[in-house]
């Protein structure tokens, strides 16, 4: 019975004996139902004949029927730990065992198994991704290629930005030229026409229009007159 209660080669023998003795002395009170559960009994029978896969199956069925079956959790943990080297599942069932069997004096030993399983799992994880010289060289080559690609991307981007800025500048100049032309056209269109009367001079006309005779040059320039005194009666003048 002692060998059947806890299956763990060598390192687990002491734990198996301690757990068995604990059961006899009553320290495992409340767990007797674990032993009497039918799937648990079938699992132990399979374990006796060395059929570990079948044992795992029936221990799992026992847990399905009674999730707080601490003995089944512990047996599964030991099987996954020793027979299957599935340390993640082993840790899970060790921890479920402690949750349902929290006050037992064997708790430190089970916690030690959890610690060792975690260490083994960590070493496996690290060994699956070795950092070799070849890997380092490959990463360095990839880094160089990435830098080259990044340089080309930046170069192309700078060229595109410069081209776009050139187009924008040309468009802006065109818009400004068009705006100036429209402004001039608008100014010319807004100019009034004045018909020269007898006795008029550009200064008098400026006085009439602007209220300031000194602004006569605006009329002279708008009409491109070389001599401000040479105007004729009836002549039409643009008055901006």
pLDDT digits (tens, 9 = 90+) for 68-108: 899 999 999 999 999 999 999 999 999 999 988 866 778 89
**Which tokens is 52 given?**
């570990």
Largest distance between two CA atoms of the chain: 142
According to CATH, the topology of domain 2-127 is 1.25.40
Question: Is the pLDDT at 40 greater than 60, yes or no?
Answer: yes
- Domain ranges for the chain, please list them: 2-127, 188-240
Predicted confidence at residue 95, as pLDDT, reads: 92
Predicted confidence at residue 26, as pLDDT, reads: 38
User: One fold for both 2-127 and 188-240?
Assistant: no
- Position with higher pLDDT, 60 vs 176: 60
Is the domain 188-240 a CATH 3.10.350.10 member? yes
Write out pLDDT tens, residues 188-225: 446 688 888 888 888 888 888 888 888 888 888 888 88
Q: How confident is the model at residue 132 (pLDDT cuts 50, 70, 90)?
A: low
Instruction: Give the ranges where the chain is alpha helix by DSSP (H).
Output: 2-5, 13-25, 32-36, 38-48, 52-65, 70-78, 87-100, 107-127, 133-190, 202-210, 216-222
């Amino acid at each position: 019975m002692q060998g059947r209660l806890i299956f763990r080669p060598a390192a687990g023998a002491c734990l198996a004996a301690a757990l068995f003795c604990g059961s006899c002395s009553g320290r495992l009170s409340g767990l007797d139902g674990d032993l009497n559960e039918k799937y648990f009994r079938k699992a132990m029978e399979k374990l006796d004949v060395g059929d570990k896969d079948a044992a795992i199956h029936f221990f799992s069925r026992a847990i399905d029927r009674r999730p707080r079956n601490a003995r089944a959790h512990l047996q599964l943990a030991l099987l996954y730990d020793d027979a299957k080297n599935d340390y993640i599942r082993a840790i899970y069932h060790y921890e479920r065992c402690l949750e349902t069997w929290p006050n037992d004096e064997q708790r430190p030993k089970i916690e030690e198994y959890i610690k060792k399983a975690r260490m083994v799992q960590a070493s496996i994880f690290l060994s699956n991704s070795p950092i070799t010289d070849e890997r380092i060289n490959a990463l360095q080559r990839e880094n160089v290629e990435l830098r080259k690609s990044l340089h080309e991307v930046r170069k192309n981007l700078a060229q595109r930005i410069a081209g776009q800025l050139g187009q924008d500048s040309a468009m802006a100049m065109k818009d400004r030229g068009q705006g100036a032309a429209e402004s001039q056209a608008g100014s010319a269109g807004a100019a009034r026409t004045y018909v020269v009367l007898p006795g008029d001079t550009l200064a008098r006309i400026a006085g009439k229009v602007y209220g300031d005779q000194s602004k006569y040059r605006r009329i002279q320039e708008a009409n491109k007159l070389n001599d401000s005194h040479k105007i004729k009666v009836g002549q039409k003048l643009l008055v901006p």
